[in-house]
């Protein structure tokens, strides 16, 4: 949500980040009808412009809602659970959080 507004530019200032330049992880399906490529590219450019390290993982043949097993019961073709994408995105998210909270460092 909000990717279109962010990717097309916002009149709001990006000064709220201050010195913090967080890592950003975007996991998406390349067959998601709700995520337009120009909005994804725009969001990536915006995050990069403000100094964030932006990483995108796009899963092949993957629809919207891929992390939710209940999507297999959704009658809309726009949604589908994908076990591979779910586990890979979860692993990438865990790695990002471990790095962000320095959980891999020795005490």
**pLDDT tens digits for 16-60?**
555 677 899 999 999 999 999 999 999 999 898 888 999 999 999
- The CA distance from 46 to 52, in Å, is 9
| pLDDT value of residue 11 | 45
- Rounded to 10 degrees, the C-alpha dihedral 33/52/6/2 comes to 60
Parallel, antiparallel, or unpaired: how do β-strands 23-29 and 53-59 relate?
A: parallel
- 51-60, 81-90, 95-104: range with lowest mean pLDDT: 95-104
- pTM, whole model, 2 decimals? 0.76
Is residue 107's pLDDT more than 60?
no
């Amino acid at each position: 949500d909000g990717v279109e507004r962010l990717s097309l530019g916002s009149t709001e200032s990006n000064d709220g980040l201050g010195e913090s330049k967080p890592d950003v992880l975007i996991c998406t399906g390349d067959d998601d009808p709700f995520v337009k490529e120009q909005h994804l590219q725009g969001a990536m450019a915006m995050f990069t412009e403000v100094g964030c390290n932006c990483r995108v993982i796009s899963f092949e043949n993957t629809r919207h809602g891929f992390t939710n097993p209940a999507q297999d019961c959704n009658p809309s073709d726009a949604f589908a659970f994908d076990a591979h994408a779910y586990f890979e995105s979860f692993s990438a998210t865990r790695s990002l959080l471990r790095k962000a909270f320095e959980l891999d460092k020795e005490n």
